[in-house]
Each structure stands twice: as structure tokens, then as C-alpha cells.
Structure 1
Amino acid sequence: MTVPQPVPESPRGPGLHERLASGPVVCGEGYLFELERRGYLQAGAFVPEVVLDHPEEVAALHRQFVHAGSDVVEAFTYYAHREKLRVIGKDDILEPLNRQALELARGVADSTGTLLAGNICNTGVYDPADRATHETVRGMFTEQVGWAAEAGVDFVIGETFRYLGEARIALEVIREAGLPAVMLLVAGHEPVTRDGAAMAQACRELAERGADVVGLNCVRGPATMLPLLGPVAAAVDVPVAALPVPYRTHPEQPTFHALRDPASTPLPEGLPFPTALDPFTCHRYEIADFTRRARAAGVRYFGLCCGGAPHHLRAMAETLGRTPPASRYSPDMSKHVYLGADPRLRAANQQFRSVL
């Protein structure tokens, strides 16, 4: 008779459910935009080849997000699916890229006691009216979730789904692998999925089908995502997630695709998205304000999507009562040469304020 072997305790500590039961969870995202800004990823294709070309930069960003307060290290497999790689003619790097991304993330998660998350996303293939695309999508998700399961992830994030139908398939694949699922939908210009479901309705259905966390991410900034969160929280019995983009969207321009810059400098594509969004970037205090409001609305899983940087994430974590390692370097203007309170700074202080 085979004697069952004890399951070794994870070096990452409590799992997703245990952490959510004891308080909010913070998940650092935004790898595509941050690594593009640093010069390691090409805007346009937005395929994470950096995982293979410069793995040290990916691991460093994982560590920086944890340093800033992330409870989760998310493997950088966003857009690392078969269709994206086919478009750029690099199908052959599909498996190496995914496995390397998971290994990099696992190394940081294991060494920091944070959760390890796999990641799948919208495919650009799904067509509600074409059943053949549903099977294609299922095959793509099955590949990526299978590699994530082999890497020992704690859960899988399925994100940026505009179609509820595509999210359903992603959730089915994750559940079949026996893994917890965080399912995130996109609310575009109109707050409904492309197959016509209101956000609260769509999240409720995913929760009823077994999603462990449901919510919204990407596209909308704090101001235009916030009004959608209360209805989602009221509609479900599972934790709600909110991961906006850190840009100043507003009711007339509710997504970062819609933002328009009045500056006269011509833009390559005629609009700020995705490479000229800098003038619209939220500062850390706006992110802190969103965090307070989202928590009051019932959100328990927090983060930032495209455009999020470590200083944004630190502001979010601190607003939730955390003191991440990066808090050692949080601003203290009492020591500033012009703004400080020390009597020895008085002359410089008065000179500075005289020109304000």
C-alpha cells in the first residue's frame, strides 16, 4: 500500500483565500507599459519577448513591485499566447517564453513569501457567433494554464476580457486545472461586455460559475471605474477586484483609448494612446484617494494595470494600512530644502515661498 506523502508547506505562506480573509490583497501589474517605458519591450506588438531577451529586467520589476507592497508576483505571460506570437511570426517561442516567465516569477515569489499567479488574457480570436473560435481559444488557454499549473502557481488571473463568453471559457479551463481564478473584465466606453452583459451581471455569472475573485481591470482610470464597483460588489458573494489604469479618464472620455491631448505637437497615430499618455498620468495621491473610495465600495483585491508604477503601488498599499519596504523612502517634506520646517532652512524656505 502506498503511504501518502505530506504536502510540503509552501515557501509563499498563506494562499489567496487565507490572505483575503485577513484583509485586502494588493497585486502589482502594468508590466507591458513599464517595461516599454524602460526600453525593453516594443509598443505596438506589446509581446513580452523581454522575458527571454532580458530576464533580469523582468525579475527586477517583480522585486520592485513586491518592495512597493504587492502581495502577488504575476508571471509576465500577458499577450504571450499563440495568436499574438503568430502575428509577429514567433510561434516557436511560445512555450519557452511562458515557462521562463513562470520560473522568473516563482523565484521572486518564493524568496519574498508572496503569492505566485499565472496569467491569461483576451485573445483577439473569440467570436461569439463562430463556435470554431471558441475551441481555438480554449486550446490557447489550456496551453498556458497547463504550464502555470506545472509551475505550481497559487492561482491564475484571467484578465482584460471584453466578451463574457471568452471569460467563461477561460474560467472553465482554470477550474478544470484545479486552480483558484481571479477573473477580470473590461468596461469599455459603455459599461457592458461586448456580448451585452452589464458589468455587475457578468461578474455575478462568473462568481456563480466558480470564480474566486471577480472584478474589473484596465482601460478605465480611477474616476470612471469607481462608479461601477459598488454595483459589482452588491451583486456577488465573492471578493471584488479593481485594477484601473492610472490615467485621468473622465465621463466624456471614460477610457484611456478615448483621451485627447490639446497640445499642438503632432502624434504618430493622431491620439495619445498608447505612447503619449504621460500628460494624463495620475499622481500618487489620486491613487490613494481611489483606493480609499474603492475599499468603501467593497473592493478587497487591489492593483493597477497598464501605466502603473511602483510609486503608485506603494501609495495604494500604504492607504490600505500596509508598511511595505518602500515605505522607508516615502516622502517627508519636513526635510526639504525649500519646504522643510528646520529653522536652519528658514532663509531658503522664505526665498522659495516669495516667488510662489
Structure 2
Amino acid sequence: MSKFEDLLARKGALLADGATGTNLFEMGLLSGDAPELWNVDEQEKIRALHQSFVDAGSDIILTNTFGCNRHRLKLHKAEGRVKELNVAGVELAKEVAATVDREVLIGGSIGPTGELFQPLGALSYEEGVVAFREQIEGLVEGGADILWAETMSAIEEMKAVAEAAKDFDLPLVITASFDTAGKTMMGLAPRGLGDLQSDFACTPVAIGSNCGVGASDLLAAIMEITEAYPDAIVVAKANCGIPQIRGDEVVYTGTPELMAKYTHMALDAGARIIGGCCGTSPVHLAAMRNALDAHSDGQRPTLDEVLSEIGPLVSPPNKAADAARAESEAAGSAGRRRGRRRG
């Protein structure tokens, strides 16, 4: 049993951390800068961010390595620093985890490559595997406890992460961003992520959703997963309320009270790892810790109850588009069947 599975078995549910990017912007990161470079250039700020999450009660903190693959780093002429920045990112998190007298696990954050996979783009599946394996090698050398692939959208990219992770003796977590009418940008539905588990080169120890749009949208996504796969270990890591554009800023409307309600609803919906994504500060996270500790099992919420308590869906499912897609697929299937009969 991995450290992750052991801690989860002992505690029943775990609190992950809050936002990396939006909190680093508050610390002075500029739009367009690579936060991963701060693993070397601004180490005290990265330590301070991790410390704020640990002090708020996180059981799992994610490394500042979301874009730490060769394809994202080449935008900053740092593609040759993949290993250095990943190792440094894990070591900073481990230093902070060691400051408290309880177990805090380190999730090695792995984000998308930023490239489109073939045939939609130029990146081959094999190149994707190589890039993820290179990053994972750095995370493992640094001493990560979990490989944490997040904000995924394309099936091919998730499969490439799993292919790269299969040769390493660490549990793999995969979470997707269902931000486009209830699906990922590449058209994967929440239930579809559960369906994919047996297709991966190594089976993820946990699946779920992070980021996306509002917290209600994320709860709807994980409810779809837990309904179809009630035995799955599911991660819910929602944005802090609903993002609103105010001038040249994106402001997240979630209060600590709202995120506490979200925590209760996520637990009753079947999630076992709860955290926050964009906009989630240590203050929000502390309220979520209190909610998790005080939680007593309730009934599984309905979508109407989620909307009433947390707020409306920002990107509701497009039923008309789904119906048109189904009709098109059915027509194509019928045509293929007729073609086979003619043959």
C-alpha cells in the first residue's frame, strides 16, 4: 500500500491544498511569467505558499511544477531545465511538510503539455510520453509521494501520462477540467473519465476533477463520476466560487463559508479528497479543513440542492449539441453497417 492509500485508509478523507497560480500572482508573479522558475529564483515565496496550506490543514500539497515539462518550458527558453526545476519543486514542498508533526504528502503536479496531440496537432503520442517521463523522473528523484496529473482534457494526453508513469513505483492521480458545457475542452464527459480507467497503462489510484469553471459545475462532474463508479476514489478540487472579470482582473467570488458548504457537499457526493483550485486562499482552505473535520455523513445531494447552496452552473451541459452529436454518430454507424453489408 502506498503512503497515499495508507493515509486515506486511516483518515477516511483528505484535504488537498488550494490555488498555486492565483496565490503566486498575489505574491508578485506577473502574467506570462513561468511560476516554475520560482522553484529556483524565489524559493522563499514558494516555501511560504506551501507553509500557508500546511498551516491551514492540508494533508496533501502539490508541487509548483504544473507547467514543468519541456513543451511548456520552451516558451521561456528553459526546456533544458526540466529535471532541475522538478527536483527543486519537490524538495521545497518536502522541506515545508517536515515542519509539522503530522503526515503531509507531496503530490508532484503534472499539467498538460500545452500542445495538441496528433491528428489535431503536431505532437505525437510517443513525444508526449517522453515529455511526461522526463518530468516524472525529476519528481521521483525529488521524492514525491504521488504523481498528480491535473487539468487534463484530451484522452491521448491522459493515456500518455499513464504510459509514462507505469515504470515508477508511485500512485497516479488523474483529474480533468470539465469546463465546456459539462465536458472537457476535447469533449470527454465526467463518466468517460471513469470509463477510461481500464484503458490506461497503469490504473490511477484516484480520478476526479479540478479547476474548470464554478464550484457547482465541478460538483456536478464528480456526482456523475461517483454515480457511475461508486467505488472509485474521487478528487474534487474546485475553483473558489465563480470567476468574474472585473477590469483587468479575474476575481473569484467564493467565500470561506461557501467553500465549507462545497466541502460538505463534495463529501456527501462521494469525493474522498477535497481541495481548492483557482482563487482558493489559505483562509478558504482553513474553513474547508474545519468543515471536513466536523462533517457527518448526509444524503447524497441532488443537482438542484447544489445549485441552491453553491450557485448556478457557469457552463451548463449543451443537450442540443449532445443530441446532434449522438444523431451524427448513429447515422455514421448506420452508414458503416450498410457499407459492410454491401461488401
CA distance 1:132–1:90, change in 2 (3 Å): closer
Deviation for aligned residue 1:235:
2.0
Counterparts of 1:167-206 in structure 2, within 5 Å, are 167-206=158-197
Q: Does 1:213 align with 2:206?
A: yes
Identify the range of structure 1 (230-239 vs 129-138) with the bigger mean alpha-carbon deviation. Answer: 129-138
CA contact (8 A) 2:240 2:278 kept: yes
Output one character per residue of 1:17-46: Cα deviation in whole Å (capped at 9) or x when no partner.
Answer: 12222311111131111011111x222344
Tell me the residue number matched to 2:68.
80
CA distance 1:15–1:53, change in 2 (3 Å): same
Give the secondary-structure state (helix, strand or coil) at the position aligned to 2:275.
strand
Output one character per residue of 1:40-94: Cα deviation in whole Å (capped at 9) or x when no partner.
Answer: x222344322211110111121111011010013221111221122112233433
Structure that is richer in helix per residue: 2
Specify which of 29, 36, 42 is matched with residue 54 of structure 1: 42
Counterparts of 1:266-281 in structure 2, within 5 Å, are 267-268=247-248, 276-278=249-251, 280-281=252-253
Tell me the residue number matched to 1:144.
135
Tell me the residue number matched to 1:247.
241
Deviation for aligned residue 1:110:
3.1
CA contact (8 A) 2:182 2:217 kept: no
Q: Which amino acid aligns with 2:83?
A: E
CA distance 1:296–1:178, change in 2 (3 Å): same
Tell me the residue number matched to 1:228.
221
Tell me the residue number matched to 1:272.
none
Tell me the residue number matched to 1:161.
152
Q: Which amino acid aligns with 2:53?
A: F
Deviation for aligned residue 1:142:
0.4
Identify the range of structure 1 (302-311 vs 93-102) with the bigger mean alpha-carbon deviation. Answer: 93-102
Counterparts of 1:4-15 in structure 2, within 5 Å, are 15=3
Root-mean-square deviation (CA), in Å? 2.2
Tell me the residue number matched to 2:320.
none
Output one character per residue of 1:175-231: Cα deviation in whole Å (capped at 9) or x when no partner.
Answer: 321210111001012222344331112233136641101000012221221122211
Tell me the residue number matched to 1:307.
279
CA distance 1:131–1:50, change in 2 (3 Å): closer
Tell me the residue number matched to 1:286.
258
CA distance 1:56–1:260, change in 2 (3 Å): closer
CA distance in 2, matches of 1:72, 1:224: 23
CA contact (8 A) 1:183 1:206 kept: no
Give the secondary-structure state (helix, strand or coil) at the position aligned to 1:321.
helix
Deviation for aligned residue 1:317:
0.9
Output one character per residue of 1:277-309: Cα deviation in whole Å (capped at 9) or x when no partner.
Answer: 22x421100001111111111010110112211
Query: Any unmatched runs of 5+ in structure 1?
Result: 1-13, 249-255, 262-266, 269-275, 324-356
Query: How many aligned residue pairs are there?
Result: 288
Q: Which amino acid aligns with 1:277?
A: V
Normalising by structure 2, we get a TM-score of 0.78
Tell me the residue number matched to 2:90.
102
Give the secondary-structure state (helix, strand or coil) at the position aligned to 1:106.
helix
Question: Identity of paired residues, percent?
Answer: 26
Give the secondary-structure state (helix, strand or coil) at the position aligned to 1:303.
strand
CA contact (8 A) 1:156 1:179 kept: yes
CA distance in 2, matches of 1:222, 1:114: 25
